Amino acid sequence: MDNITLARLLDETAALLEIDAADPFRIRSYRRAAEAVEQQTQPLSSLLDDPKALTSIGGIGKTMATNIIDLVRTGSMPLRDELLTKYRPTMLELLRLPSMGPKTVALLWSALEVSNIDELEAAAKAGHLNKLPRFGQKQVDKILKGIEDHRKNTGRFRIDVAGEWADRIGSLILDFPGIDTITPAGSLRRGKDTVGDLDLLVTGPACEPDVVASAVEHVASLPLIDNLIARGQNKVSFTLRNHLQVDVRLLPRESYGAALQYFTGSKMHNVTLRQRALRKGYTLSEYALARIDPQPGEAPIVASATEEDIYNALGMDWIPPELRENCGEIEAAEKNTLPHLIQMSDIRGDVHMHTVATDGANTIREMADAALARGLQFIAITDHSKNLAMTGGLDDERALAHVHAIRKVDREMEGRIRVFAGIEVDILQAGELDLDDSTLAQMDVVVGSVHSHFQLPAEEMTARLLRAIENPYLRILGHPTGRVLLRREPYSYDLHAVLKRCAELGVAVEHNAAPPRADLSDSNLRLAKELGCKISVNTDAHATTELDRMRFGITQLRRAWLSPADVINTLDAQAFLAALGLHQ
């Protein structure tokens, strides 16, 4: 049982406790434990014989450690079994509907034995809900509308898609006079690879309380809106045609920092921060950090205009949004030990890209010129090998000819940018590489990737990858889990064993910056760093415009707490080759 599954089971137990009207503290303890488990890089299933190691993790006490041990060994735990006997698992879906709190769900179950969304819809349409307390026709209609909206909005959206919509919506809002700043908040600002909804915070003179109504009306009439959900004094909620929900909040300048901190999250980061504020005699909300009991002559508001003011008033360094996952960042900020996170300006090279030789849209020279225009010092052209027939992959003869073509462009660039000859060679089913070693020996950069036979048993996939990285010419393991976000789950294998062996052999592991992949994930990147792996971030660009995807990769590296020293693309060309065990 992996950490993600453990976290899901703990989180579902918290939801069942909510339905059961359990003690709020007990519910929070399960939520916090779920967050803590999800953030761990070491499989907790490996710690069963050492309960102290489990309890050393923040958010996991003795009782929760016992629960985790039970979950790993039996697939369940006594409390969960008890709640599932009393209630049905599908009741968890009901809590995701608007205006459906635990008490309402419990009432629906006790009165009508409604346990899922379909049953709720049927009961509402049959008139059964109208017979219950507090269920007038208006409430029933609201529930039916909520079910409809829920079915439209259950999907998630990749970070690039959400970001594009944020930019489009923001540009339309900026057309209104008096709007100065629009900032995405929530999971998009934290850089999560997928986003469930979009939070936009807006400020400027037009957002002041006495004039904000006109700006609200402007937002509510945006042409992109498919369904206007709500319009309040300073908030507009709507969905787009792709069912992405957007919440726009218009805020006065003096409370903008507090709102930005609050709506950026994450939930557990904010909970921990509020607890810290209470210990210092403050209360923290989306409006301000304020004194609970101000003394005569003291201003009640301590900080509100900027996030920096709020964190500093709590005795901490400002925490970059990408780190706000309650994974040790608050303690590090208190001790002034937050890492110096990698930035786009640190990147000097990109060594995974494709050209018209296989499935790319541009020539070698066009890719080199585009990379130079973006300030890069080196690139590697890594077209596909022959096994990926749909891309026109290169056999040995064509690969060698391609090497000569790449080196010709390298000479033409006259040192303005280095253009290395490379290949993205397929890792075949048994772990052998798709081209002869004699061909690979002519390459500067060999990226090895899995593009087929994703359903192998975990043991076979592990052996496949371990065999591949033993090849002395494979220098980078490309998109190492094979996932495609929202379309294909990672293939099963012993990631820890493969990363450990990569570290031992000096084989770099890739974070693929292409938003559909974002692979390795942020948690896997943390594991790679802990194991001593060299990490390379690349765009996997198939066109010059896709070189701009590097920024998405940098976001995920930042979420993994990586600094420039952790990523070999921050080295100059010669040092980069040396890091791969190559010299030129």
* CA distance linking residue 79 with residue 61, whole number of Å: 16
Q: Are 269 and 318 in contact (CB under 8 A)?
A: no
The 10s digit of each residue's pLDDT in 235-267 is 999 999 888 999 999 999 999 999 999 999 999
Task: Please spell the DSSP secondary structure of 419-444, one letter per residue.
Answer: EEEEEEEEB-TTS-BSS-HHHHTT-S
Q: What is the pTM of this model?
A: 0.81
80 three-state secondary structure: helix
Q: DSSP state, 383?
A: P
- Binned at pLDDT 50, 70 and 90, residue 153 comes out as low
Which has the closest alpha carbon to 99: 140, 68, 155?
Answer: 140
Number of H helices and E strands in the chain, helices first, is: 24, 17
All domains of the chain, ordered by start, with CATH?
A: 1-87 (1.10.150.110), 97-152 (1.10.150), 157-251 (3.30.460.10), 257-334 (3.30.210.10), 344-579 (3.20.20.140)
What is the pLDDT at residue 152? 63
CA angle 434, 400, 463 (to 5 degrees): 20
**Mean predicted confidence (pLDDT) in 384-399:** 92
pLDDT score of 475 more than 60: yes
Which has the closest alpha carbon to 485: 518, 453, 507?
Answer: 518
Task: Please spell the DSSP secondary structure of 482-507, one letter per residue.
Answer: --BTTTBPPPPS-HHHHHHHHHHHT-
581 three-state secondary structure: coil
Q: Are 382 and 419 in contact (CB under 8 A)?
A: no
What is the pLDDT at residue 583? 64
| 378 vs 299, more confident | 378
- Binned at pLDDT 50, 70 and 90, residue 166 comes out as very high
Interacting residues of 145 by C-beta distance below 8 A, sequence separation 6+: none
Residue-wise burial string across 154-167, b where 16 or more C-beta atoms lie within 10 A, e elsewhere: eebbbbbbbbebbe
Which has the closest alpha carbon to 181: 96, 78, 251?
Answer: 251
- Binned at pLDDT 50, 70 and 90, residue 154 comes out as low
What is the pLDDT at residue 544? 93
The 10s digit of each residue's pLDDT in 554-564 is 999 999 999 99
* Ramachandran bin of 397, using left for φ above 0, alpha for ψ from -120 to 50, beta for the remaining angles: alpha
- Binned at pLDDT 50, 70 and 90, residue 390 comes out as confident
Q: Are 247 and 198 in contact (CB under 8 A)?
A: yes
* CA distance linking residue 41 with residue 524, whole number of Å: 7
Amino acid present at 486: L
What is the pLDDT at residue 584? 57
What is the pLDDT at residue 285? 95
CA atoms within a 13 Å half-sphere pointing along the CA-CB vector of 323: 20
198 three-state secondary structure: strand
The 10s digit of each residue's pLDDT in 91-127 is 888 887 867 878 888 889 889 989 889 999 999 999 9
What is the pLDDT at residue 40? 79
If one counts every other C-beta atom within 10 angstroms of the C-beta of residue 17, the result is 22
Interacting residues of 132 by C-beta distance below 8 A, sequence separation 6+: 107, 108, 111, 112
DSSP run (H or E) holding 253 = none
* CA distance linking residue 476 with residue 445, whole number of Å: 8
pLDDT score of 41 more than 80: no
CA atoms within a 13 Å half-sphere pointing along the CA-CB vector of 154: 11
Cα torsion 352, 357, 361, 367: sign:
positive
Looking only at the bridges linking them, the beta strands covering 418-426 and 445-449 are parallel
**Mean predicted confidence (pLDDT) in 415-428:** 98
* CA distance linking residue 358 with residue 345, whole number of Å: 30
If one counts every other C-beta atom within 10 angstroms of the C-beta of residue 253, the result is 16
What is the pLDDT at residue 87? 84
Looking only at the bridges linking them, the beta strands covering 301-303 and 289-291 are antiparallel
Q: Are 275 and 268 in contact (CB under 8 A)?
A: no
